[in-house]
């Protein structure tokens, strides 16, 4: 009996190992591992002088947990997650409101994470992942209706707009709100390939962004005056003050010192001072000056220490990763797998663009991190869970040559 039990356990282990190595996209995995390794190096050089080894140890620990999560989602058949499709949207909304129920960490005026004992969980990252799964489920379930009419398209846009508005209002997180809306609209475009709809959404988005920006700048001026009065009275800053300060700083980069423009202008110094070959690993000076360099300004640190060629390597790595995910989406054995991969590719594309755009001051500072590079356990764990799903889809692909 004992021998039989041991043989069964060995067979189970062999089955899991065979599933892990059964034809998944190895190139995609190599891209992810290269980016993660590069991210650990960037975090070390960005934080070691000020904080010692704390951030490095934390990132290595979370990388290990995230890789285990990747293996889990690779081994489990991705079709299992389709059964829970109707719950993902409500799970996203519940996760957004968790900051109102569970003690939350307030960072720069934003309620982005909750603390349960020693564990800190980013609710906005959780909501983002839930929305990716919901988009894939809903568009797979309503594929024909979306292809034939506009009602379901409008429904998707409305649902994504509701979640984005909640993230913006409750969590005070503009970047995640933009990413969620962007994923929904871009997936509709890929699914239906309706250029007119995409252009209309783009125009509405740009016009809305301009009006929202002007309105926020006006509010920012009022908030700044209110904060000045509150400071004299010893009160805290007004709600939305941090976001308004960032918008004002984007408009007037001379707002340095203690204002939000300080972070952006020193990020630009870092990018400009790197040149073609960079200052060398560990030789950057702006990383000790730029606030949250290991998070919001990771790309600037890469440019300063690794130069133009280092930033080019990073871009090529992201392009290869996103290209492989799209390849898996195109080759997927079914629509659901294809939509999961498309959503993950869009998520990474939008987030990488937003992070780099903020660093070069193309758009206001939204506090968006750089996938696999920036410090942060929750973001890495959820992102690698998404990659695990993509690898799971790739393992189901059977090429004609096989």
Does 313 map to a domain? yes
Query: Could you write out the three-class secondary structure of 235-264?
Result: CCCCCCHHHHHHHHHHHCCCCCCCCCHHHH
State pLDDT tens for residues 286-339.
777 777 777 778 888 888 888 888 888 899 999 999 999 999 988 888 899 999
- In the chain, the number of structural domains is 1
State pLDDT tens for residues 369-385.
889 998 888 889 999 99
- The domain of 50 spans 26-74+260-329+347-397
**203: Cβ–Cβ under 8 A, 6 or more apart, which residues?**
none
Does 286 map to a domain? yes
Contact 113, 105 (CB under 8 A): yes
146-150, 202-206, 291-295: range with highest mean pLDDT: 291-295
**261: Cβ–Cβ under 8 A, 6 or more apart, which residues?**
248, 249, 250, 252, 253, 254, 255
Does 373 map to a domain? yes
Does 165 map to a domain? no
Contact 261, 255 (CB under 8 A): yes
Does 207 map to a domain? no
User: What's the burial of 375, exposed, middle or buried (CB within 10 Å: 0-12/13-18/19+)?
Assistant: buried
Does 79 map to a domain? no
Does 65 map to a domain? yes
Task: Report pTM.
Answer: 0.81
Q: CA 151 to CA 122: how far, in whole Å? A: 33
Does 381 map to a domain? yes
């Amino acid at each position: 009996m004992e021998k039989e039990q041991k043989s069964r356990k060995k067979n189970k282990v062999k089955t899991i190992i065979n599933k892990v190595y059964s034809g998944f996209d190895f190139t995609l995995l190599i891209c992810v591992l290269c980016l993660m390794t590069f991210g650990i190096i960037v975090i070390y050089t960005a934080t070691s002088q000020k904080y010692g080894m704390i951030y490095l140890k934390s990132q290595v620990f979370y990388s290990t947990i995230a890789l285990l999560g990747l293996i889990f989602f690779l081994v489990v058949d991705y079709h299992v997650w389709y059964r829970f499709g109707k719950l993902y949207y409500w799970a996203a909304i519940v996760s957004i409101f968790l900051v109102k129920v569970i003690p939350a960490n307030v960072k720069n005026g934003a309620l982005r994470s909750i603390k349960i004992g020693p564990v800190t969980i980013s609710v906005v990252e959780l909501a983002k992942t839930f929305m990716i799964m919901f988009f894939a489920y809903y568009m797979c379930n309503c594929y024909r209706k979306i292809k034939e009419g506009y009602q379901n398209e409008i429904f998707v846009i409305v649902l994504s707009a509701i979640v984005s508005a909640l993230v913006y209002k409750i969590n005070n997180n503009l970047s995640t709100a933009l990413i969620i809306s962007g994923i929904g609209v871009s997936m509709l475009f890929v699914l239906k390939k309706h250029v007119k709809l995409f252009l209309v959404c783009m125009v509405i988005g740009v016009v809305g962004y301009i009006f929202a920006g002007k309105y926020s700048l006006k509010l920012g001026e009022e908030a700044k005056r209110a904060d000045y009065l509150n400071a004299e009275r010893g009160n805290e800053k007004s709600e939305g003050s941090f976001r308004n300060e960032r918008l004002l700083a984007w408009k007037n980069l001379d707002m340095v010192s203690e204002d939000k423009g300080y972070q952006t202008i020193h990020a630009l110094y870092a990018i400009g001072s790197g040149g073609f070959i960079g200052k060398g690993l560990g030789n950057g000076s702006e990383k000790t000056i730029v606030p949250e360099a290991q998070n919001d300004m990771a790309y600037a640190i890469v440019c300063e220490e690794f130069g133009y060629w280092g930033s080019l390597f990073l871009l090529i790595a992201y392009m290869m990763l996103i290209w492989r995910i799209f390849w898996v989406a195109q080759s997927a054995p079914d629509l659901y797998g294809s939509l999961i991969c498309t959503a993950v590719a869009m998520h990474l594309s939008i987030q990488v663009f937003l992070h780099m755009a903020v660093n070069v001051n193309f758009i206001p500072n939204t506090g968006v991190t750089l996938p696999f590079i920036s410090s942060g356990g929750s973001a890495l764990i959820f992102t690698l869970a998404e990659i695990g799903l993509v690898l799971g889809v790739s393992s189901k692909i059977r090429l004609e040559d096989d």
